[in-house]
Amino acid sequence: MRRFTLRDSIAATVLAALALAAMPWLMSDFALALTLTCLMYAGLAVSWAMFCGATNCLSLATAAFFGMGAYVTAWGIGTLAYGLGVLLGGLAAAAFAALVGAAVLHLRGAYFAVITFGLGELVRHAITYYEKAYAGTVGRVISEPPETVTIYHVVLLVSALAVVTALVVRASRLGLALRGIGSDEERARTLGVETRRAKILAFSLSAFFPGALGAAMAVRWTYIDPLSVFNPFIGFQTVLIAMVGGAHTILGPIASSVLFSVLTEYLRLQFPYLFLVILGLLLILLVLYLPGGLASLLERWRWGKSRA
Amino acid sequence: MAFWFELVATGLITGGIYALVALGLNLQYGLMRIMNISHGEFLMLGAYLTWLGHTVLQVNPIVFLPVVALALFTLGVAVYWLCFRRIIRTAPAVEMIEARSLLVGFGLMFLLQNAAYLAWGADLRGYSFLAEAVDVGGARFQANRLVVFAFAVGASLALLAVLRWTLIGKAVRAMMQSPTGAQLVGIDTRYLHPVVFGLGLAMAGVAGALLSMVYEISPGMGEPYTVTALIVIVLGGLGSALGSLLGGFLLGLVETFGMHYTSPSLKMLLSYAVLIGVLLARPKGLFAR
Amino acid sequence: MREPLLAAQGVSVRFGGLVAVDAVDLAVHAGELVGVIGPNGAGKTTFFHALSGVLVPTSGCIVIVGDDLTGEGAHAFARHGIARTFQTPRVFKEMPAIDNVRFGLEFAGRTRSHAHDAFDEPGTILEFLGLADVAAVPAGGLTPSKQRLLEIGMALGARPRVLLLDEVAAGLTHAEVELTAQLIRRVRDELGLAVIWIEHAVRVLMDYVERVAVLHQGRKIADGDPRAVAKDAGVIEAYLGEQGEPVTEPGRKAA
């Protein structure tokens, strides 16, 4: 069997994106909304795995990037074109990640997880304080949101870009450097990788997508406040989806984001508490008995076939 | 003068609870690299147990403390055997233990918090206990706060004493430095790990029981305490018990003074600013040499 | 006189009150094969950490072909042509063996060319080491002795001018040690590298190197021809202090 090359994978992504682009005219509103959620989580999870899956750094900063993007939209709506807001949201998150990354990326393990979580909360509390003190409100109303079809296409574009970027990074020297860092950072350094620069670059690149997605999705809410867009649940859910899917792969997080979005849509509304109890249990079982994620099932199956 | 005294005392009372919560979590992390993000949920369980004991069984919350501690200890041993034992055995590297235990912690958090919502609903619950004011050195405090402070500090000091002077404590401290350390003192980690994990949860349970005497409780009450405990641990240094105690008091004081001079809505902002400042300036903790 | 490839000048490393390496000078020229020996705790590995930029010396400096790199990160040392192995093999366990070798080529190795054109291919390096048949196996699945070889391959991928080997013979069988020693010689002869080779068990090393430096309690107490060093009173005394392997006369291969 021939292995997929980078070009094959990119072509497959583009084809899939084109097929998905036609959905607004083929699907019901409900199915479209569900697909939109899938796309958002796929973009978030793939971009998270791009950095964290390779380097084994556990970042909980997704909510921070997402919220920053959302606030770019909230502040800019009416004066900024929607597409431009999305771009700026992504750039703001990427710049923030580069700045913060320069300061905290030397930390590892639990330290890194805690500080990235703390950063999100810090930004959230800072914005809450700023809005209360200077804007006199806690939340903002989104007036004149763009059409659902437009939002859908923008989110699709950002998520497809995230997948293509992840594919390119994985095949590049940067990807090799990140895998080396994940395996043994000091060893990577002794072989000539400037690990600090590689990590900041990748962290910043992976932050662009949650920022852009936050800006794109913000208009779906009619009312934005810090608690809803900086919701740590967005960050946790992203990490969960990526790890359940298999954070060292690209297809795994995509597959599990579909799974999670569908589960969430059907169960969460009907049995909100029970759903989360089951989600918790499922997560524990997955980590204990399938630590490589869903992707490892596929790998095991392939391995079995190639040996037979 | 009295005003200053009151402010410092309030800070120390808050800090005592923080220290107690952080100590348990830090012990688990220092020994086993388990970053138990559901620590606050076990605190919540301790609080609900005490509330049930008071309202259903009519037991004095202070008398009920040992029961809560024992219940949470047993639960901790069970949780360790069911979840974390396998992670520690199968993870290929320390970083994977941290990552996987964090995820299992999230799972436990979802599970326990929402099970509590199912069982007891989202309403705030509470009971009145020693709510009358007492005069101490010219400042007035609710008696229950003083009780909470005494027990929080007492339990923390007891744990420090155990760590310092008993064989198991010495083994734990040796293990935090090197995994072979415990074997040198002849302690089997198969028993040490679950015991220490249970001890950590017992601490959280006691903290929850104490909090229920002062504040109203809800299924979501634990989460902020987990975050605060993480901050305290970073302040005091990962794996340092004394650091957690001092860090707890420090954070309590910083919050109390900060809130007094700025605004209560800045409480979390202050905590996080302290956390990030410390992490950047002294990643090994404030008290590291 | 030619400029040395790697020169340590008065390098000291202190940890708190402990002096691990004490004002050591060492200059290595192209084509040299230098052994560094010393009893346990002599500071050999710490000295290597300083030479490879893994650790910044407390005082003294490290000059690589005229450039003072003291205080720079390990990646700068690697790009200047210093490649090393570690005492316990540190391969990228999840990556296939061939990617481990490719790693050095892609990063440190890009800045310079090899003396040997054939060594620009990870496959050739694996073949040279006799690891061609395990190219696709994840490095973590290799036997410890193959991981040691692979680590040398990773270092060679970085196209070094100076190769630092930290106890590459530890834990190998006697036959494997001989093979490794011959391999080190071939690397030096065919690629014209300078090699510094640390070993705790010194027997084989003394047979293969032309020059040996002895560290004892952080200080360099001898440096020169192995035959002369083996007779040095200070060296004998340093080794007598510890039980175990004494310095043997070179030229007499243990059976």
Which among C79, C93, C99 has the least Cβ separation from residue A192? C79
Among candidates C84, C93, C111 on the partner chain, residue whose Cβ is nearest the Cβ of A190: C84
How big is the A-C interface in CB pairs under 8 Å?
69
For residue B144 the two structure tokens come to: 């229950």
The distance of B32 to chain A (nearest Cα, Å) reads 12
Q: Is the ipTM of this complex over 0.85?
A: yes
State whether C122 and C188 are in the same domain.
Answer: no
pLDDT of residue C75: 92
**Closest-approach residue (CA) in chain A for B234:** A111
Q: Closest approach of chain A CAs to the CA of B107, in angstroms?
A: 4
Could you tell me which residues are beta bridge partners of residue B136? B139
Q: Which residues of A touch B121 (CB under 8 A)?
A: none
Please choose, from the candidates A41, A55, A64, A17, the residue with its C-alpha nearest in 3D space to the C-alpha of residue A245. A41
Backbone torsions φ then ψ of B246, nearest 5 degrees: -65, -40
- What is the spatial distance between Cα A159 and Cα A216, in angstroms, rounded to a whole number? 11
Do residues C106 and C188 share a domain?
no
Helix ranges, B135-266 (H)? 143-165, 167-177, 181-184, 189-214, 222-236, 241-261
Residues C43 and C62 in one domain: yes
Chains sharing 3 or more CB pairs under 8 A with chain B: A
- Closest CA–CA distance from residue A196 to any residue of chain C (Å): 10
| Chain B residues whose beta carbon lies within 8 Å of the beta carbon of residue A128 | 265
**Chosen domain end from C140, C160, C180:** C160
Per-residue confidence (pLDDT) for residue B207, from 0 to 100: 92
Give the per-residue pLDDT at A1: 46
Q: Mark whether C32 and C109 lie in a shared domain.
A: no
Of A257-261, B88-92, B187-191, C184-188, minimum mean pLDDT range: B187-191
Which comes out higher in pLDDT, residue B13 or B142?
B13
Residue A257 has pLDDT above 90, yes or no: yes
Inspect the interface and report whether the beta carbons of B234 and A111 lie closer than 8 Å.
yes
How close is the nearest chain A Cα to the Cα of B259, in Å? 13
A190 with C83: Cβ contact below 8 A? yes
- Where are the domains positioned within chain B? 2-281
The span from the CA of B100 to the CA of A286, in Å, is 10
Which residues of A fall within a CB distance of 8 Å from B283? 106-107, 111
- Cβ <8 Å between A283 and B35: no
Q: How far apart are CA B43 and CA B109, in angstroms?
A: 11
Among C111, C126, C160, give the residue marking a domain's end.
C160
Range among A2-11, A235-244, C100-109 rated most confident: C100-109
Residue B122, classed as helix, strand or coil, is coil
Q: How confident is the model at residue A36 (pLDDT cuts 50, 70, 90)?
A: very high
B288 versus C63: which is more confidently predicted?
Answer: C63
Which pLDDT band, with edges at 50, 70 and 90, does A308 fall under? very low
In this prediction, the residues of chain C whose per-residue pLDDT falls under 50 are 244, 246, 249-255
Domain shared by C67 and C177, yes or no: yes
Q: Which of C160, C178, C207 is the last residue of a domain?
A: C160
Looking at every residue in chain B, the average pLDDT score rounds to 83
pLDDT of residue A94: 96
| Mean local confidence (pLDDT), A205-215 | 96
Q: CA C221, CA C235: separation in Å to the nearest integer?
A: 7
| B252, B229 Cβ separation under 8 angstroms | no
Q: Which of these ranges, A81-85, A100-104, C3-7, C60-64, has the smallest mean pLDDT?
A: A100-104
Give A118→chain B minimum CA distance, Å: 6
Would you call B234 and A58 a contact, using CB atoms and an 8 Å cutoff?
no
In a domain, residue C89? The reply is no
C-alpha to C-alpha distance for B240 and B146, rounded to whole angstroms: 26
Residue A215 near residue A89, CB atoms below 8 Å? yes
Q: Are residues A125 and B266, on separate chains, in Cβ contact within 8 Å?
A: yes
Distance in Å, alpha carbon of A246 to nearest chain C alpha carbon: 15
In what order do the strands lie in the sheet containing C194-198? C82-84, C162-166, C194-198, C33-37, C211-216, C219-224
Q: What is the mean pLDDT of residues B80-93?
A: 84
Using alpha carbons, select from A262, A248, A234 the residue that is nearest to residue A294.
A248
Q: Residue B272 and residue A125: Cβ atoms within 8 Å?
A: yes
Strand segments (E) across chain A: 140-141, 223-224
pLDDT-derived band at B187, boundaries 50, 70, 90 = low
Say which residue, A254 or B267, is predicted with more confidence.
A254
Rounded-to-10 torsion of CA A50, A56, A59, A65: -10
- Chain A nearest-CA distance from B114, in A, is 5
**Average pLDDT score over residue span B85-106:** 81
> In a 10 Å sphere around its CB, with 0-12 CB exposed, 13-18 middle and 19+ buried, how is residue A253 labelled?
buried
pLDDT category of residue A228 using cuts at 50, 70 and 90: confident
Which of 155-184 (C) contact A at CB < 8 A?
Answer: 155, 157-158
More confident residue, B240 or A10: A10
pLDDT at position A110 over 60 = yes
In a domain, C240, yes or no: yes
Answer yes or no: do C173 and C227 share one domain.
yes
Question: Could B118 and A128 be called an inter-chain contact, meaning their C-beta atoms sit closer than 8 Å?
Answer: no
Question: Is residue C86 domain-resident?
Answer: no
- C155 with C169, same domain: the answer is no
Element (H, E) at B30: helix B2-32
Chain A residues with a Cβ under 8 Å from any Cβ in chain B: 56, 58, 103-104, 106-111, 113-115, 117-119, 121-122, 125-126, 128-129, 132, 236, 239-240, 243, 272-277, 279-284, 287-288, 291
Instruction: Inform me whether the pLDDT recorded for A307 exceeds 60.
Output: no
Asked if the model's pLDDT at residue B285 lies above 60, the reply is: yes
For residue B55, what are the CA distances in angstroms to B49, B126, B205, B206, B207? 10, 9, 18, 18, 19
> Number of folded domains in chain C?
2
> How far apart are the CA of A254 and the nearest CA of chain C, in angstroms?
23
Contacts of A180 in chain C (CB under 8 A): 92, 95, 103
Asked if C119 reaches chain A (Cβ–Cβ under 8 Å), the answer is no
Query: Residue C73: which CATH number?
Result: 3.40.50.300
Which of A3, A55, A190 is most worth mutating to test chain C (most C CB atoms within 10 A of its CB)? A190
Asked if the structure places residue C129 within a domain, the reply is yes
CATH T-level topology, domain B2-281: ABC transporter involved in vitamin B12 uptake, BtuC (1.10.3470)
| Residue C38 sits in the same domain as residue C67 | yes
Examine the domain organization and report whether C148 and C232 are in the same domain: no
Let me know if residue C5 belongs to a domain: yes
Answer whether A101's CB lies under 8 Å from A112's CB. no
Which chains have at least 3 CB atom pairs separated by less than 8 Å from chain C? Answer: A
Tell me whether C231 touches chain A (CB under 8 Å): no
The residue-averaged pLDDT of A260-283 equals: 81
Residue B48 pLDDT level (bands cut at 50, 70, 90): very high
Do residue C121 and residue C66 come from a single domain?
no
* A129 contacts B265? CB cut-off 8 A: yes
Contact residues on chain A for B110, CB-CB shorter than 8 A: 276-277, 279-280, 283
Measure the CA–CA gap between A27 and A24, rounded to whole angstroms. Answer: 6
Question: So what's the pLDDT on residue C155?
Answer: 93
Mutant choice from A287, A289, A290, A296 vs B, greatest count of B C-beta within 10 A: A287
Backbone angles phi, psi at C195, to 5 degrees: -125, 130
Range of the domain at C148: 94-160
Give me the pLDDT at residue C255, please. 35
Asked if C165 and C198 touch (Cβ cutoff 8 Å), the reply is yes
Does the pLDDT at position A54 exceed 80? yes
Q: Are residues C50 and C102 in the same domain?
A: no
Q: What average pLDDT does the structure give for chain A?
A: 87
- pLDDT tens digits along A156-201: 999 999 999 999 999 999 999 999 999 889 999 999 999 999 999 9
- Chain C residue with CA closest to A248: the answer is C94
Please check whether residues C60 and C117 belong to one and the same domain.
no
Give φ, ψ of C73 to 5 degrees: -75, 165
